Each structure stands twice: as structure tokens, then as C-alpha cells.
């Protein structure tokens, strides 16, 4: 399916987070095997985040949801 914005991605329960690099992203095989694919919406001149920042943002969103329930 199509990638979802991170705030709409299914992050409940046990998850395995795979984060692609700025240049090449994740492999087509990994994307095909994933239950869901998400991206971090951005505005302005920022085209991408480095992998450490993207991972931190995704983990923070997953934890935020966990604490909200």
C-alpha cells in the first residue's frame, strides 16, 4: 500500500521499526514485507532528516501513543 504519515501509522502493540537512509531509503524487499510504511511529514526547505533524527521522531511518536492509552 501507500506510505502513511507517521501520525496515522499503526504503531500499537509490538513493532519492529526499520529506518531507511536519506539517499536510498529501505530496500524494495523490506518495503514489500512490511505491514505498514510511514513517512515523517515535513514543511519548508527540509527534504529529509538524518537516520538518527528520524528514528528518534518515530520512537517518540510510538511512546507518546503508549503513554496516552
- Tell me: the pLDDT tens digits for 10-66? 998 899 999 988 788 899 999 999 999 999 999 888 777 889 999 999 999 999 998
User: Domain residues for 64?
Assistant: 4-68
CA distances from 67 to 12, 58, 63 (A): 11, 14, 6
Whole-model pTM: value is 0.82
CATH number at residue 27: 3.40.1280.10
Residue 1, pLDDT score:
62
The number of CA neighbours under 13 Å toward the Cβ of 15 is 19
- Secondary structure of 16-55 in the HEC alphabet? CCCCCECCCECCHHHHHHCCCCEECCCCCCCCCCCHHHHH
Indicate the number of domains in the chain: 1
Amino acid at each position: 500500500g501507500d506510505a502513511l504519515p507517521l501520525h496515522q501509522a499503526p504503531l500499537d502493540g509490538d513493532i519492529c521499526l526499520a529506518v531507511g537512509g536519506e539517499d536510498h531509503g529501505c530496500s524494495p524487499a523490506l518495503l514489500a514485507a512490511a505491514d505498514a510504511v510511514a513517512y515523517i511529514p515535513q514543511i519548508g526547505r527540509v527534504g529529509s532528516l538524518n537516520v538518527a533524527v528520524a528514528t528518534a521522531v518515530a520512537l517518540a511518536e510510538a511512546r507518546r501513543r503508549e503513554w496516552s492509552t
